Structure 1
Amino acid sequence: MNGLFERKYIIQGIFIAVAVIITARLFYLQLVDNSYLLSANNNVLRKMVIYPARGVILDRNGKVLVQNEPVYDLLVTPREVKDLDTALLCDLVGIDKEGFIRRMEVARKYSPYKASQFEKQIPATAYAKLQEHLYQFRGFYVQNRTVRSYPDSIAAQFLGYIREVNDRDIEQSNRFYRPGDYIGASGVESAYEELLRGQRGVKNVLVDAFNRPQGSFADGKYDTLAVAGDGLVSSLDKDLQILAERLMKNKIGSVVAIEPATGEILTFVSSPSYDPNMMVGRERGNNYAKLLNDPHKPMFIRPIQAQYPPGSIYKAVAALTAQQAGVIDMNTVFNCPGGYRYGGGRAIMRCTHVDGSIPLITAMQRSCNTYFGYTYARMIDSRGMPSPDAYKLWREAVMKFGIGQPLGIDLPGEKSGLLPTDSFYTKRYGNARWGSGFNISLSIGQGEMGITPLQMANIMAIIANRGFYYRPHLIKAIGEQKIVKPEFTEKISAGVDEKYYEPVIEGLSRAVNVPGGTGYSVRIADIEMCGKTGTAQNPHGADHAVFFAFAPRENPKIAIAVFVENAGYGGTWAGPIASMLIEKYLKDTITLPKYIQDRIYNADLLPKPKTEKPQETVRSAPKPSPSPRKDPEEEEEAIFVHHSVLASRHE
């Protein structure tokens, strides 16, 4: 009996203890621990993602190139949508009923219980009207964010654009990104994405039954702050960039200008370009499709992706590397009878002049093809070794000038250019018994050689520096601490001693500043500009106009390459563009005659669309007589090189 009585009290004690524990736990959950209250009150709490502002991008003088402006995303939680005035919502958002139905289906498929985007990037003007009626749309709310804005609508290919992340971006970022986030897709926006993007935050907001915010939950105790992205100071000079884009309007080509002492890029033009504001907002998708289908390829980044035969600028490299190799010096003289004969005299590489006995400086000034044909032959055929081995040494020396390899600019997508290996020619000709005559066009920067406009400008920077360069770059400082990437402070040697640069520079100076020089018409008063015009052959159409220069001769401040596709003579088109940009940068004025300026500004050199062939019954208009060729003293060489006669020399 006593045992039964004892068991009764034990069982009662257990029940009482359990009741006390449960009561205490409920007291703690409901009155002490707010984290559970947060979970229990999801129907009146909303987690608001706070998107950080991307870092602002400035030019080298502190002027804004890229900034942010507010937009608003409309989000929806499908299960909360009740008593909706669909017509009013569609009118305020700017969509039709079919668009509404489609968006709701996507939202339900994502999750009936979680918020997802209904409409993206509603501008501030449209949001002002929507905000007045938002309380009528249960289940809908607005999330603030920013988008990019380009005040001057310039430098589109340099700056790049942002886009919404896809599944691959999310996976590659180890889930840093979430659906609805944005990521840099090209240009600087892509190259510096991790610095520009910042860190998102979260704000817990109390809302009432009408979707109206009632303040922060727990005084923001569980919120996290958004951290804005780092700002960037670019190397671009905004005013110079605007001028360069004006000068290249309705032309295909590139302008790249570099500060030789630092490698900072002052101007970066890819033409035709586009307004970067086209890649922002709700019309971005349509605009992107238009740009992709544009026959002039405005999204192609020509300064780092187009590869052209360098033409005359290579002659400077040829003169420098040949001096360093000891096969010529500044006093070396060759005879120019109007062309260089090779292949046992069966083929000729012509000049536009008959120069007779010509030394190195004059050969640079007059761009004598014959001189550099002989120079290349000495580099390949006269060094006491098999020609392929000599070619390897030649190629290694040329590559030190940044030809045939990427320079490492801080933009994605840079091309290396073209500089064939010796094995390329051995395979082409069937054995290794080939010599300079098999690829003689390389001697004047033609044939299989191709370099980018960035590489062209960098060659001029090397010559301006008398033998070295800093890796060309577009961002000179990062964040408030003005951090400079260490790879952009490395001094890189071109492998040629300083003493060998003076005859080359003297020739470049005479080409611009001495009457009869190919660039004399674009000389600048009070500034000794050293430069070279060029007319690079184009097997697919009209020749390309090129001009390379640096200025002033002593303590140079700017090196530039201008390339205008299918324009003809370098002295006519590319030279004036480079001259105006150099003078504007150095003197903040332009003194080139107005009629030349007007011709450049107003010219339309874009390829014309092909017209349909006229019917046979319609008589064709007579063809106009070809324009007379200008005097060779006033323009650059046009080159024809014939290889086929040498095809059997290896036998």
Structure 2
Amino acid sequence: MRKVLLPSLIIIAASLLVMRIFFLQIIDDSFKLKSENNAIKVKYDYPERGYIYDRNGKLLVANQPSYDIMVIPREIKNLDTLEFCQLLNITKEDFIKKIEKAKVYSPRLPSVFLAQLNKAEFAAFQEKIRKFEGFYVQKRSLRDYEVDYGANIFGFITQVNERQIKKNPYYNSGDLIGRQGVEESYEEILRGIKGVKYIQKDKYNREIGSYKEGKYDTIAVQGEDINLSIDAELQKYGEQLMINKRGGIVAIEPKTGEILALVTAPSYDPGILVGRQRSKNYTLLYYDSIAKPLYDRGLLAEYPPGSPFKILTGLIGLQEGVIDEKTTFMCHHGFSYGRGRFMKCHGFGPHQLNNGIYNSCNTYFAQTYMLTINKYNNPGKAVDVWSDHVKSFGLGNFMGYDLPTGRRGNVPTSKTYKRIYPNGGWRSTTIVSNAIGQGEVLMTPIQLANMMATVANQGYYYTPHIIKKIEGKKIDEKYTTKHQTSIDKKYFPPVIQGLFDVYNYGTASSLRVDGINICGKTGTAENYAKIDGVRTKLKDHSIFVAFAPKENPKIAIAIMVENGGFGATIAGPIASLMIEQYLRKRITRTDLETRILNTSLKAQYAKLGGMEAGAGIESTPKDPKIEAKIKPVTTEPAPKKTTIDSTQQN
């Protein structure tokens, strides 16, 4: 039996191998299509990308035809190079460089020789294409932007690189792929499915018909349309208000987590990243170290949140039982907290929770914070308890929204202070600046907006997201999953009343909008930077957070204006205007609107830019045509690493 077993196994294995080879070579010829077969030509039919609409059905992004000249180096014969270059308005050196690049990719497979011809260029080339063997035209579709705003939301499309081709076999040389914004996040939905045709060729390289009568051909499937949660008119208005300013605006619908507006300033016209000048224009934007229009400040810029963070300090104090609504602290334009240290404050007299919020009393919230830390007789444990409460609002980590870029922000823990103070000795007075949104606390504008949405909902939030509807599909369930904070619901109403009174009696009383009950909080974070090695005081950042209406909140918003001064000076009016625009679709506070539209911080940024010039940082020279498309045109500097003072005004 054993003598028969081994030969039998060999015979069976050999038979299976022969059968498999027979199947692959005789019956199944699909592998021929995947090889570089000279007798079969592959033609792709590229679908249109899905259209992009806003939440109300307004068309934002459509498509327009584009034509790429493709080349198969091995098939180039008898080419009049001079005529070819003159027709396409390129130099002979460019021609040689492009051909060599195509050969490196593959001498037998097609690759892009010249991308994105317009209709006139295509027509001129098409007339003489018969004279240029080895070249053909591939039709594609490019984006056609129906609006000149929202560039940071949309992203753009560009040609795939070698790394992307190796990573994903769907793509070939010359294919387009979404980068940044929703074009990247929803690439697989928007791109559709390529169609393919296999063409049989004879020995003279002439096309003689479909291979196998079209057995393997497929048709193109257009990409799915999507509706964003963005309100197009609100987005447009926000970008107008931020002209000649630097910062971000994020507005969220509290009950759903849908992002209503995502403004970064400066921004640019998305249309300049379409067509043959796309690469040149992108390079100019990328290397513009003054305006930095590609830097999304709403998602990436990490700032000390300032006084809006006092909202959390109060809520945590209530939850931990170290204060109640009647707890009173005396303020004498600030307070001393040991070893000659003094925290300044513009308040005076007794403060409880309500007037502590609407007067933005540093003393009240610093005392509350120290009671919270001192409660456990162990500052390390206490800081971790405090940190966990803060993180339950979605802070200190990536938020999980559906855009490809973002930052964590920072919520310190005991590990933070063990690293800063390796020999110990730190206590509540050492880290008290956390209480008022300074110290080691950092937040992005979208985190601030989500914090206010959570307060508006009295303790829960949905992960912020920019998708509202995908044609024929459901959105990811993580955007409809409720997240509950560690703060009991009963502690939110008194804090919300304090935020409402900010508009009635407090730091935003001049920003009221008749008929709309707005709850808000001003913030003014002191701003220091080391310039040429010297710690220099810069103009404060203007911060404002709000939601409205108080009774049934429909919008929560955060505004950060760099070097904008007091919170009620620039950020506050922008909040009132954005809220009224969204809720009423018209503006009654035209006095605020006129003031903000006429406010320019170019002088502030120019001053800081002059300081940077001394540090040897220069801006790339701008193309005037591109500069005119940057909104707003500013002379602002590249961001500096900032050392923050532990005090603020309101």
Please classify the TM superposition score into its range, dividing by the shorter chain length.
0.7 to 0.9
Alignment correspondent of 1:507:
498
Q: Deviations over 1:4-38 (max 9, x none)?
A: xxxxxxxxxxxxxxxxxxxxxxxxx9xx9999999
Match in the other structure for 2:405? 413
Q: Give per-residue Cα distances to partners, 1:87-146, cap 9 Å, x unaligned.
A: 443233231222223223333444444433221111223212222222232322111111
Give the SS at the match of 2:528. coil
1:452 corresponds to:
444
Q: Does 1:526 align with 2:520?
A: no
* Contact map agreement 1:584 1:590 (CA 8 A) in 2: yes
Q: Residues 432 and 522 (structure 1 numbering): CA distance in 2 closer, same or farther, change over 3 Å? A: same
Report the alpha carbon displacement of residue 211 of structure 1 after superposing the two structures with TM. 10
Q: Secondary structure at the match of 1:451?
A: coil
- Residue 5 of structure 1 is matched in structure 2 by none
Q: What letter matches 1:287 in structure 2?
A: N
Secondary structure, aligned partner of 2:114: strand
Assess if the C-alpha contact under 8 Å between 1:66 and 1:151 holds in 2: yes
The number of residues matched between the two structures is 580
User: 1:533: how far off?
Assistant: 1.5
Is 1:186 aligned to residue 180 of structure 2? yes
Larger displacement relative to structure 2 (42-51 or 397-406):
42-51
Q: Give yes or no for the alignment of 1:578 onto 2:575.
A: yes
Look up the match of 1:361. 354
Q: Call closer, same or farther: CA 1:46–1:330 in 2, change over 3 Å.
A: same
Partner of 1:67: 62
SS of the equivalent of 1:374 reads: helix
3-state SS of 2:402 partner = coil
Q: In the superposition, relative to structure 1, how do residues 113 and 593 fare at CA in structure 2: closer, same or farther (>3 Å)? A: closer
- Match of residue 455 from structure 2: 463
Q: Which residue is equivalent to 1:562?
A: 559
Which residue among 267, 281, 288 is the counterpart of 2:282? 288
Q: SS at the partner of 2:430?
A: helix
Q: Deviations over 1:13-64 (max 9, x none)?
A: xxxxxxxxxxxxxxxx9xx99999999xx88864211222222221111112
1:403-427 deviation line (CA, Å, top 9, x unaligned):
2122111112321111222132234
SS of equivalent to 1:542: strand
Residue number among 320, 342, 348 corresponding to 1:348 in the alignment: 342
Which one-letter code corresponds to 2:176 in the other structure? Y
Q: Is the 8 A contact 1:340 1:373 kept in 2?
A: no
Give the superposition deviation at 1:79: 4.0
The structure 2 residue matched to 1:119, chosen from 96, 114, 117, is 114
User: Where in structure 1 do 4 or more consecutive aligned residues deviate above 6 Å?
Assistant: 32-39, 42-45, 206-215
1:536: which partner in 2? 525
Instruction: Return the TM-score normalized by structure 1.
Output: 0.83
Pair 1:449–1:113, CA change in 2 (3 A): closer
| Gap change, CA 1:37 and 1:256, over 3 Å in 2 | closer
Aligned equivalents of 1:386 and 1:290: distance in 2? 53
**Aligned counterpart for 2:586 among listed residues 580, 584, 589:** 589
2:474 counterpart of 1:477? no
Q: 2:259 aligns with which of 250, 258, 265?
A: 265
Unmatched runs of 5 consecutive residues or more in structure 1: 1-28, 614-638, 644-651
How does the TM-score come out when normalised to structure 2? 0.83
Residues 166-196 of structure 1: per-residue CA shift (max 9 Å, x gap):
23222322x2322222222222222222222
Q: Return the alpha-carbon distance in structure 2 between the equivalents of residues 588 and 428 of structure 1.
A: 50
Match of 2:270 among 271, 276, 300: 276
1:559–1:212 CA distance, 2 compared to 1 (3 A): farther
Q: Relative to structure 1, is the Cα distance of residues 137 and 556 closer, same or farther in structure 2, using a 3 angstrom cutoff?
A: same
How far apart, in 2, do the equivalents of 1:313 and 1:37 lie? Answer: 65
Is the 8 Å Cα contact of residues 513 and 528 (structure 1) preserved in structure 2?
no
Identify if the C-alpha distance between structure 1 residues 331 and 118 changes in structure 2 by more than 3 Å, giving closer, same or farther.
same
Contact 2:438 2:645 in 1 (8 A): no
Q: Which amino acid aligns with 1:329?
A: D
- State the partner residue of 1:155: 150
Q: Within 2, Cα distance between the matches of 1:148 and 1:209?
A: 40
Change in 2 beyond 3 A, CA 1:37/1:591: closer
Deviations 1:266-320 (A, max 9, x none): 0001111122223222222222221121122211121121111111111111111
Could you say which residue in structure 2 is the equivalent of 1:395?
387
Percent identity over the alignment?
A: 46
User: Does the C-alpha gap of structure 1 residues 313 and 35 become closer, same or farther in structure 2, counting only changes over 3 Å?
Assistant: closer
**Cα separation, partners in 2 of 1:110 and 1:304, compared to 1, 3 Å:** closer
The answer (yes or no) to whether the contact 2:334–2:363 under 8 Å persists in 1 is yes
Equivalent residue letter for 1:641: S
Matches within 5 A, 1:190-205: 190-205=184-199
2:239 pairs with 1:245: yes
1:92 matched to 2:87: yes
Matched residue SS, 2:403: coil
Per mean C-alpha deviation after superposition, the further-off stretch among 553-562 and 191-200 is: 191-200
1:323 to 2:318 alignment: yes
Q: Does 1:552 align with 2:543?
A: no
Which residue is 2:631 aligned to?
none
How many angstroms does 1:525 deviate by? 0.9
Deviates more, 1:209-218 or 1:129-138: 209-218
Q: 1:166 and 1:138 mapped to 2: Cα distance?
A: 26
1:443 aligns with 2:431: no
Q: Residue 124 of structure 2 aligns with which residue?
A: 129
User: What are the residue-to-residue correspondences of 1:591-606 with 2, within 5 Å?
Assistant: 591-594=588-591, 596-606=592-602
Q: In structure 2, which of residues 371, 378, 381 is the aligned counterpart of residue 378 of structure 1?
A: 371
Would the aligned equivalents of 1:340 and 1:374 in 2 still touch at CA under 8 Å?
no
Using the alignment, how far apart are the partners of 1:519 and 1:252 within structure 2?
A: 22
Trace 1:611-626 onto structure 2 (pairs within 5 A): none
User: Is 471-480 or 524-533 further displaced after alignment?
Assistant: 471-480
User: RCO (CA 8 Å, sep 6+): is it higher in 1 or 2?
Assistant: 2
State yes or no: 1:299 paired with 2:291. no
Q: How far apart, in 1, do the equivalents of 2:31 and 2:191 lie?
A: 33
Bigger drift between 521-530 and 603-612 goes to 603-612
- Looking at structure 1, the residues matched to 594 and 549 of structure 2 have their Cα atoms a distance apart, in angstroms, of 26
C-alpha contact 2:438 2:647 (8 A) present in aligned 1: no
1:388 touches 1:432 (CA, 8 Å); kept in 2?
no
User: Aligned pair in 2 of structure 1 residues 203, 443: CA closer, same or farther (>3 Å)?
Assistant: same
- C-alpha separation in 2, matches of 1:186 and 1:396: 32
Q: Which residue does the alignment assign to 1:404?
A: 396
Native 8 Å contact 1:409 1:471 kept in 2:
yes
Q: Note closer, same or farther for the CA distance 1:35–1:185 as it changes in structure 2 (3 Å cut).
A: closer
Output aligned runs, 1:37-52, within 5 Å. 46-52=41-47
Offset at 1:599? 2.9
Change (3 A) 1:48 1:300: same
